[in-house]
């Protein structure tokens, strides 16, 4: 069975994030690569792709008896067969869907940016997972790295169908897949989703000072995930330093160009 997200009965405007342009995904594929094929291709991949092929991202993480979470590198024919997967939820616009008999595949086309509206797609994704779970079947949710987009959808599923608070749902998934971290925009949408289904919020976003920079985090991160907070602060600081360096380089280049033009004018 194959269900394209564009084939759902919702209006076309609801199929894409309201804050971004329409993204056309790649053609469907008829089969997935084997683990051996991926390992053979890995040395020739760009560095960014080699990183997401690391075991922490390709791990086929079991969330509960009927649900798994992984990155694109975990989408191998062995994993689908060995875990008896009957439903694939692809939370990317860039990775292809699998078209194969016996596999129900849907795409939720979002980018991993804080401004993308993944929340408008939560219900269709989590209800599809629940539909298969009620029949005792298994689903896998994936994005590129299995960190942000797919994790946000899995957490939304636990909120709506397992009645977990956002706080508990995040920690439940984090215990089973250490690398998860929905971006702040997705976290805010999960807070609203929790309010909608559970009547109140267990999490709020706060700003903290760390390593000389100000960052925004879910409030429980400070006490329960301090290493994550420190890493995010260091990443933010490094990015700011890079941007400052680029500005200084650009300013130096412009000054040099201006001086050269002035010298040329004097020589006329």
Eight-class DSSP state of 32 = P
Please list, in sequence order, all residues whose beta carbon lies within 8 angstroms of the beta carbon of residue 132, skipping any fewer than 6 positions away: 66, 86, 87, 104, 138, 139
Query: Strand 205-210 vs strand 213-218: parallel, antiparallel, or unpaired?
Result: antiparallel
Q: Is 87 a catalytic residue?
A: no
Tokens of 227: 């290493």
Of the listed 124, 126, 143, 180, which one is catalytic? 143
Residues 110 and 143: beta-carbon distance below 8 Å: no
- Per-residue b/e over 196-228, b at no fewer than 16 CB within 10 Å? ebeeeebbeeeeeebeebebebbebbeeebeeb
* Cα dihedral: 142, 11, 131, 102 (round 10): -70
Which positions are catalytic?
Answer: 143
């Amino acid at each position: 069975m194959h269900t394209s997200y564009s084939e759902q009965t919702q209006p076309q405007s609801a199929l894409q994030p309201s804050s971004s342009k329409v993204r056309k995904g790649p053609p469907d594929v008829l089969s997935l690569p084997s683990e051996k094929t991926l390992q053979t291709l890995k040395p020739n991949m760009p560095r960014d792709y080699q990183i997401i092929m690391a075991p922490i991202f390709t791990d086929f993480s079991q969330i509960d008896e009927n649900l798994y979470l992984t990155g694109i590198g975990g989408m191998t024919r062995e994993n689908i067969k060995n875990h008896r997967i009957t439903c694939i939820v692809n939370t990317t616009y860039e990775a292809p869907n699998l078209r194969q008999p016996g596999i129900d595949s849907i795409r939720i086309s979002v980018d991993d940016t804080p401004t993308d509206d993944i929340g408008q797609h939560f219900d269709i994704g989590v209800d599809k997972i629940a539909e298969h779970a009620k029949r005792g079947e298994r689903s896998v949710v994936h994005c590129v790295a299995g960190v942000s987009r797919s994790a946000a959808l899995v957490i939304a599923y636990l909120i709506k169908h397992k009645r977990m608070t956002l706080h508990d749902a995040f920690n439940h998934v984090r215990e089973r897949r250490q690398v998860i971290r929905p971006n702040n925009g997705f976290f805010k949408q999960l807070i609203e989703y929790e309010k909608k289904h559970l009547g109140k919020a267990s999490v709020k976003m706060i700003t903290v000072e760390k390593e000389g920079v100000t960052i925004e985090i879910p409030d429980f991160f400070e006490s329960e995930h301090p290493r994550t907070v420190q890493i995010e602060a260091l990443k933010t600081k490094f990015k700011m330093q890079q941007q400052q360096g680029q500005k200084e380089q650009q300013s130096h280049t412009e000054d040099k160009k201006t001086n050269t033009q002035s010298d040329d004018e004097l020589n006329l």
